[in-house]
Chains A and B, each alone.
Chain A
Amino acid sequence: MATRSESGFGEVSRLRGIVFKYLTFGASLVGILALGVLLAYVFWDALGLESAGTAWYLTYTVTLLAPLLGFLAYARDKPEVTAGAIELVGFTLAGGTLSFAAIIVLIVIAGPGVWVTYFLTVVAPVIGLFLYGQYEREATWVGLAMLGTLVVGPIVGTLGLGAISTVAALLGAPGVYFLSLVVPGAGLAAFLAADRFDASRRVALGVAVGLLVLAIVGVPVVDTVPIVARSVWFAVLVMLGLPVGFAVTNTARQPARRAAFALPAIAIGGFLVGEFVVGAIGATQPSPWLDWQFLTSPTSSLPADAGLYPAVIGSVFLIILVSIFTFVFGVGTAVYLEEYAPSSGLLGTVTRLINVNISNLAGVPSVVYGLLGLGIFVNINIQFGPVVYAGIGAGTVLTAAMTLSLLILPIVVISAQEAVRSVPDSLRQASYGMGATRWQTIRNVVLPRSLPGILTGTILALGRAIGETAPLIMIGAVATKYNPPSGLFDTLTAMPLQIYTWAFLPSEEFRYGVVAAGVVTLLIVLLSMNSVAILVRNKYQQETY
């Protein structure tokens, strides 16, 4: 018999648990505080807030900050209004990011000739096949056809590049972007109107025609603004206009959410009133380093004229290539190692050896990868019979992209392996039990289920790649470049490299103001890329439940 206590149940000590809880809380606080201080510090310098007068701060507190806080207090216990406000802001930000990406990728880097070629050979057929697959669900060949198009399309496009570019040149750049962006955009708008908002056929058609008319009517207007080209107008209309239009329509249709429109009204109205008051009373304004001039001009020996434009384009170019390389090779490796590679016997030992090595490679310093890139892409000259391989040039876009891909490939492989491994075995068994082949199981069960995890890992790894400086220095990327790279074999500079160079200039204005502006730009590009990828991931997660 157990001894019976005389009174009550007694107490169990929780002291160690409580101490541990606050230790973990303290640890997370340190990280968050450090990040907060860093952000405050660079934003303070980049926006030149030091030089603003008290009057400027007071004005904007009254016209912008106070009403915004008021709106937040009002919306706190109204979930519908909050959801509407988040949707409006989120779609606007996503639209802004998309426009930025479209302008840089489609207009600056690719240019109308290249874009229209690959649009015709890859993008349009894939979208067409995808839509057909959604419409005709019994057609099992669609997935395979899409894969085939992704492989064959680029080859056909590369072969036909010259011819199609010539034809496209006759059409002119704005014509190309009108046909490839605005026309499909109008179709998408009509579809969304009919599908999501139950609009009648006539209304949906009206939406599509309205978008086309707006695009054309807007042309004479944007022609009066010197810095906005017609192509840019078309891209922004589709990439920003569609998400914003969707969010506005969606909010307007739900009466409980309509109060959310107060948020954009307060933001825009407060800003305009603030500008007016500041101008009227003549308050000292901040002198930001991060402004339009900074984003659109190359570097200079004068801090006031220095800009980041070639480096921004170079970094985005790099990230596109790196994400393609790492996704293809990383996911391929991970799927092979997890699903196909033998796990027992002698070959199983080899597999385990490879796995251990990949983990080790993930920890190798980036400067070592720089040396590797230098060795195999730059300082090399070997001959196989008549074929001579002499590298792909010091500091070119392709060399940099391949070096950075090698750098983050192990991280991508490991996280993709983790994602593939997390697919429950019961699902694989169910698939095999249905008489599915291994390929069908991977294609229909394993990959869809692990894609969100794979994307997360790839995004985090890309974040590391975009911030790397050392490998770029090792492969001979130039620090000072006055125009963006025009092709795969052109030299480039990237944002971290440019910032690094500025940090060693004697002028204090470079070391504090310009560097801070560069860091903020880098952070914004990084965060906006991540947010687009996260949106894609969440979408996919919802679709696969």
Chain B
Amino acid sequence: MTTEDMATETEADDDTDSLVTSDPGKGGLSENDDRGTVMAADTIVESRDLDVFYGETQALQNIDLAIPENQVTAMIGPSGCGKSTFLRCINRMNDLIDICRVDGELTFNGKNVYDEDVDPVALRRRIGMVFQHPNPFPKSIYDNVAYGLRTQDKTENMDAVIEESLKKAALWDEVKDQLDKSALNLSGGQQQRLCIARAIAVDPEVILMDEPASALDPIATSKIEDLIEELAEEYTVVIVTHNMQQAARISDKTAVFLTGGELVEFDDTDKIFENPESQRVEDYITGKFG
């Protein structure tokens, strides 16, 4: 099955399956804006005036947010504040919920993903997602990582790509002898890293993580955190977390959502945790509230 000697570098395949008919080009806003100490980067995902409703209930209000490329952006806030909803807007997973309605603009590489001509399936092929609870398919480890490659017809050189993805997810050494065993036999932390390997196997541009470590023990959590920092070298990572220390440890930028679906503050992580502008954010971070 997997051959050991195929560790040749896989060329970053030129992503020809274009998301939309028109060429979006670079969505560059923040080329030279003054966002403090963190190196300025191109914006890859940006929302303007984004409102989300579940039926009559408004889950997000007027969200303006620019997520920089190749950095880790964390979203923190109390339960029900809409941070997961925002995450799911980026790859249009909210489309799967019948009563969900999205107003406003959310651009990916400068193209509004809620435009009529955007195919959500094609969008999700470029924005990977890792969920709160590890959800490997009830298939073998190999088939799990191969799943995206097969569905997206990227089966060329598959064994090598799978090995590479498992290595990037820091799981290869633990599973290389049992690739044809069920993924459900792995521990929770291993399953979550498998889900990350599955997401990066198809080489997305952005990886969304919805509380990826909340169901894991501290050791598994620290492995996932190390992994996220490494992933940020190649991918843009957007992570939702309940754990403020986690956000402080791994992210470059932090967005704080508070009850009612408002984005209260968005800035460099250091600034948010050391010297936030909003009193509410300070109260939340210091534990007076939330």
Q: Which residues of A contact B (CB under 8 A)?
A: 137-140, 342-344, 424, 426-437, 440, 444-445, 448-449, 544-545
Query: Of A139, A424, A435, which contacts B151 at CB under 8 A?
Result: A435
- B199 touches which of A426, A434, A437 (Cβ 8 Å): A434
User: Considering the chains assembled together, what is the distance between the CA atoms of A437 and B99 in angstroms?
Assistant: 20
Per-residue interface assignment for chain B, residues 141 to 174, with 1 indicating a CB less than 8 Å from any chain A CB and 0 otherwise: 0000011101111011010000000000000000
CA of A63 to CA of B23, assembled, Å: 86
Cα–Cα distance between A343 and B97 once the two chains are bound (Å): 10
Asked if B128 and A544 sit within 8 Å, CB to CB, the answer is: no
Q: A430-B195, A433-B124, A436-B121 are in contact. Are A343 and B148 (CB under 8 A)?
A: no
B125 pairs with A435, CB closer than 8 A: yes
Closest to A143 in B: B150
Indicate whether B198 reaches chain A with its CB closer than 8 angstroms.
yes
Instruction: Report A-chain residues with C-beta under 8 Å of the C-beta of B96.
Output: 428-429, 432
CB of B53 within 8 Å of the partner chain? no
Encoded as 1 (CB less than 8 Å from any A CB) or 0, chain B from 104 to 134 comes to 0000000000000000011111101101010
A138 to B160 Cα, complex, angstroms: 12
Alpha-carbon distance A120/B198, docked complex (angstroms): 40
Query: A545 near B198 (CB under 8 angstroms)?
Result: no
**Which residue from B121, B126, B136, B139 sits with its C-beta under 8 Å from A544?**
B139
Closest 3 CB pairs of A and B: A435-B125, A433-B129, A545-B182
> Is B121's CB under 8 angstroms from A140's CB?
no
Whether a CB of chain A sits under 8 angstroms from the CB of B102 is no
Closest Cβ of chain A to B185, distance in Å, is 8
Q: Which of A137, A426, A435 is in CB contact (< 8 Å) with B202?
A: A435
B158 and A430: CB pair below 8 A? Answer: no
Task: Give 17 pairs: A residue, B residue, CB < 8 Å, sorted on A.
Answer: A138-B158, A140-B153, A342-B98, A426-B133, A427-B138, A429-B93, A430-B136, A431-B147, A432-B96, A432-B124, A433-B91, A435-B148, A435-B151, A436-B148, A544-B139, A545-B138, A545-B184
- Check A344/B98 contact, CB under 8 A, given A433-B91, A435-B124, A435-B152: yes
Q: Knowing that A140-B153, A435-B124 are A-B contacts, what are 7 other residue pairs whose CB atoms are under 8 Å apart, sorted by A's residue number?
A: A137-B1, A138-B158, A431-B151, A434-B128, A445-B137, A449-B138, A544-B139
How far does the Cβ of B143 sit from chain A's closest Cβ, in whole Å? 9
When chains A and B are docked, how far (Å) is the Cα of A497 from the Cα of B152?
54
Q: Given A435-B125, A544-B139, are A444 and B158 also a contact pair (CB < 8 Å)?
A: no
Cβ contacts under 8 Å, A426 to chain B: 131, 133, 135
CA distance A104 to B81 in the complex (A): 66
B93 and A433 contact, CB distance less than 8 A: yes
A338 nearest CB across to chain B (Å): 14
- B122 lies within 8 A of A435 (CB): yes
Interface centre among A137, A139, A433, A545 (most CB of B within 10 A): A433
- Are A138 and B155 within 8 A (Cβ)? yes
- Residues on B with C-beta less than 8 A from A433 are 91, 93, 124, 128-129, 131, 199
Q: What is the CB-to-nearest-CB distance from A447 to chain B, in angstroms, rounded to a whole number?
A: 12
> Contact: A140 with B98, CB < 8 Å?
no
Distance of A448 Cα from B182 Cα, bound (Å): 14
Chain B residues within an 8 Å CB radius of A437? 121, 151
In the assembled complex, how far is the CB of residue A544 from the closest CB belonging to chain B, in whole angstroms?
A: 5
Q: Which residues of B contact A544 (CB under 8 A)?
A: 138-139
Closest to A443 in B: B151
Which of A139, A429, A448 neighbours the largest number of chain B CB atoms within 10 Å of its CB?
A429
Residues of A near B123 (CB, < 8 A) are: 435
Chain B residues whose C-beta falls within 8 Å of the C-beta of A435 in the assembled complex: 121-126, 148, 151-152, 202
User: In the docked arrangement, what's the CA distance between A424 and B131, Å?
Assistant: 14
Inside 8 A of A342's CB, which chain B residues have their CB?
A: 98
Q: Can you name the residue of chain A whose Cβ is closest to the Cβ of B181?
A: A545
Contact partners of A432 in chain B: CB under 8 A:
93, 96, 124
> How many Å lie between the Cα of A444 and that of B143 in the bound state?
11
Which B71-116 residues have C-beta < 8 A from chain A? 91, 93, 96, 98-99
Q: Which of B99, B135, B153 contacts A427 (CB 8 A)?
A: B135
Q: Is the CB of A434 within 8 A of B93?
A: no
Bound-complex Cα distance A344 to B100 (A):
12
Q: How far is the CB of B124 from chain A (nearest CB, A)?
A: 4
Q: Shortest distance in angstroms between A351's beta carbon and chain B's nearest beta carbon?
A: 12
Q: Considering residues B122, B131, B146, B151, which has the most beta carbons from chain A within 10 angstroms of its beta carbon?
A: B151
* Nearest CB in chain A: distance from B267 CB, A: 29
- Chain A residues whose C-beta falls within 8 Å of the C-beta of B182 in the assembled complex: 545
A430 to B137, CA, bound (A): 8
- B183's closest neighbor in chain A, by CB? A545
A131 to B129, CA, bound (A): 34
Closest to B125 in A: A435
CA distance A475 to B136 in the complex (A): 51
For the complex, give the distance between the alpha carbons of A434 and B135 in Å: 12
**Does B98 lie within 8 Å of A429, measured CB to CB?**
no
| A343 neighbours in B (Cβ, 8 Å) | 98
> Please, which residues of chain B bring their CB within 8 A of the CB of A138?
155-156, 158
Tell whether, in the assembled complex, residue B138 and residue A430 are in contact, meaning their CB atoms are under 8 Å apart. no
B39 vs chain A, min Cβ distance (A): 30
| Inter-subunit contact A427/B124 (CB<8 Å) | no
CB distance from A2 to the nearest CB of B (A): 32
How many Å from the CB of A347 to the closest CB on chain B? 11
Q: In the complex, how many angstroms separate the beta carbon of A343 from the nearest chain B beta carbon?
A: 6
| Chain A, Cβ-Cβ closest to B148 | A434
Q: In the bound complex, what is the Cα–Cα distance between A432 and B135 (angstroms)?
A: 12
